[in-house]
Amino acid sequence: MKYNNLKVGDWVETCNMLPGIVQKIDGDDVEIFYPHYAFKYPGEYYGGSLCSIEHCGVHKISPEYAIALMAIGEEKLFEIGLAMEKDSGFNQALWETRVMQEYDDMIRNLQKDS
């Protein structure tokens, strides 16, 4: 079964805080390469993390959104998620809006400081 028109090379969002890249699709199972693990564990991580499209909520995202997630980082994303959960519960559309607002603020602050 084909979900979300996923193909090898697509950026995806999963249950992991940071995005990954589709390496292989086998029915509902998807192998994901997480770039942040490759940086964290050089020479030890080559991808192949297994996720389920249906159960893990794997879905395609834009490269721009993937860049925003990577730039913000795992710790700050976790803080944003906790604050959202406390305020109104988790909502995917609201999450994406909040992530992009955080990214835009971060870029503005960097431009202001330089």
The pLDDT tens digits for 2-15 are 455 889 999 999 88
pLDDT for residue 90 is more than 80: no
Give the C-alpha distances (Å, rounded to integers) separating 112 from 13, 105, 106. Answer: 30, 10, 10
Element (H, E) at 51: strand 49-52
> What are the chain's domains?
1-61 (2.30.30), 62-114 (no CATH)
Q: Which of 9, 11, 1 is nearest to 58 (CA)?
A: 11
| pTM of full prediction above 0.75 | yes
Which amino acid makes up residue 83? Answer: A
